[in-house]
Amino acid sequence: MIEHYFSENPLSKREEVHFKTRLLGSVVEITSASSIFSLKEVDFGSRLLIEKAKIPENADLLDLGCGYGVVGIAVKKARPDAQVTMVDVNQRAVNLAVRNCRANSVKASVFKSNKFSNENVKDKLFDCILTNPPFSAGKKLCIEFIEESFDHLKPGGTLQLVAPHNKGGGSLKKEMMRVFGNVEELVKKAGYRVYCSRKD
Ligand SMILES: C[S@@+](CC[C@H](N)C(=O)[O-])C[C@H]1O[C@@H](n2cnc3c(N)ncnc32)[C@H](O)[C@@H]1O
């Protein structure tokens, strides 16, 4: 059976990988495992998102599709004023994100959630939603990430999404424009772009 990183309950033998990396001026320690996105190192797009995201003061921030938690953890280390929530549909990813928060002495709320279905996030509004969306799970799901993010942002809140522009990112940029009525590019690097839409 082919098992994807977005499986809800991965059955593959759990092989762990440990690595450290520098992000936003801090060392972040990660434990990763099989059936989790970007097993051996932080994905280029995720790193770009972490480095270029615009986070307002005292932000209520959601790391949507958190994987092993690197986006939320790196941001919280650099910006302790942020209230960080992380969600992922993959139970193994959620377990790792909780563990990685502890290893990095980061306080964050981590929930298993199919998009915004979890009780703790379904009625919550955020200032900022950061995501490296699950392209391999299909464009339809990525569009749902955009549409449901709009419904979970406070007025003035932003969705910041990283994607490879010529491999599907361009079409997500159009979807962000359709849903929010605005979209800007925060950065372009090595084929990746970080798109940002504001809920006016
Ligand atoms: C491209 S990965 C990014 C992971 C992590 N943010 C990172 O940067 O390493 C996308 C993540 O979205 C998660 N995902 C897929 N479908 C989801 C859904 N319906 N709800 C929440 N998370 C989902 C996957 O399990 C995966 O961890």
- Report the CATH number that the domain containing residue 111 is assigned in CATH: 3.40.50.150
Q: What is the mean pLDDT of the chain?
A: 95
Question: Could you tell me if residue 11 is inside a domain?
Answer: no
pLDDT digits (tens, 9 = 90+) for 52-66: 999 999 999 999 999
Question: Could you tell me if residue 120 is inside a domain?
Answer: yes
Instruction: Indicate the top mutation candidate among 41, 66, 110, 116 to test ligand 1's pocket, ranked by most ligand atoms within 8 A of CB.
Output: 66
Is residue 56 a contact partner of residue 62, using CB atoms and an 8 Å limit? Answer: no
User: At 127, which amino acid appears?
Assistant: D
Alpha carbon distances (Å) from 17 to 29, 45, 63, 154? 11, 20, 22, 37
Total domains in the chain come to 1
CA of residue 56 to ligand 1 center, whole Å: 23
Is residue 153 a contact partner of residue 126, using CB atoms and an 8 Å limit? Answer: yes
Q: Which residues contact 130 (CB under 8 A, 6 or more apart)?
A: 49, 53, 61, 62, 63, 64, 71, 72, 75, 160, 161
Question: Could you tell me if residue 45 is inside a domain?
Answer: yes
- pLDDT at 10 (0 to 100): 66
Question: Could you tell me if residue 41 is inside a domain?
Answer: yes
Question: Could you tell me if residue 2 is inside a domain?
Answer: no
Whole-number percent of the chain with pLDDT over 90 = 90
- pLDDT at 14 (0 to 100): 73
Question: Could you tell me if residue 127 is inside a domain?
Answer: yes
C-beta of 89 in contact with ligand 1 (< 6 A): yes
pLDDT digits (tens, 9 = 90+) for 55-107: 999 999 999 999 999 999 999 999 999 999 999 999 999 999 999 999 999 99
- pLDDT at 7 (0 to 100): 72
**Residue 116, pLDDT above cutoff 90:** yes
Prediction pTM value: 0.95
Protein residue closest via CA to atom 3 of ligand 1: 132
**Residue 4, pLDDT above cutoff 90:** no
- pLDDT at 151 (0 to 100): 98
Question: Could you tell me if residue 1 is inside a domain?
Answer: no
Is residue 5 a contact partner of residue 37, using CB atoms and an 8 Å limit? Answer: yes
Structural domain for 114, as ranges: 16-198
Question: Could you tell me if residue 9 is inside a domain?
Answer: no
Protein residue closest via CA to atom 19 of ligand 1: 114
